[in-house]
Amino acid sequence: MGDQDTPDSLDTTDTTDSPNTPNGTFQPVFENRVRFAETDLQGIVFYGEYFTFQDEAISAYLRDLEYGYDQMVADGWQIHVVNAELNYREGAQFGDRLVNEARVVELGNSSVTFEYRVRRVGRDEGRRERAELESDDAVSGDAVAGGGTEEDAGDEADGADEPILADGTVTHVGVDLETEEPIRIPDAFRDAVAAFQDGI
């Protein structure tokens, strides 16, 4: 499904510094290269893959947090996803280098809402050209000599703006490990989040 064509009515302005946005800053929690297997027939990342990127970003955020999954379990609770949303802004292609960012934007009594976004920070035109050659040769049955490189030196930078490709939110509810009933999010978790991202 092609999904990255942005309707004219969709505002893609980055409002990170707007007074109406949360105080906590986005944390660049992990970086990845677009794999050939993550692209579709249109040559862009299949829309469902962004939910995987989103999940990986939140997992990385919690690993970096002073109070993460291990501490949750030790304290007798965990979080369950109850809602996940994504907005598609621009397509990513094979070989693109992406930075995935996350922050907590709302802490309710028992809920935690993360905001996620992914930016393209580099393009590897050589990798894309090689992928096209490999794809053509695979169809014809010919073998391809040589291989790709993972070096960032071959990247073609996007520039200072680093366009947002997709953004969205994920809401979790904190539950007791034994009863699986909602609980109040512990203050220790709240304090760790505020310290990690400089506010909420």
Q: What is the pLDDT of residues 122-165, one digit of tens each?
A: 987 655 565 566 666 655 555 434 444 444 445 555 444 689 99
Which of the following CATH numbers is that of domain 27-140+153-197: 3.10.129.10, 3.40.50.970, 1.20.1440.20, 1.20.210.10? 3.10.129.10
Mean pLDDT of the chain: 81
Segments of the chain with pLDDT less than 70: 1-23, 125-161
* Signed CA dihedral, 74, 75, 76, 78: sign only: negative
Residue 130 has what pLDDT?
57
Residue 141 has what pLDDT?
57
Question: Percent of the chain at pLDDT above 90?
Answer: 66
List of residues 6+ apart from 167 with CB closer than 8 A: 86, 87, 89, 115, 116, 117, 118
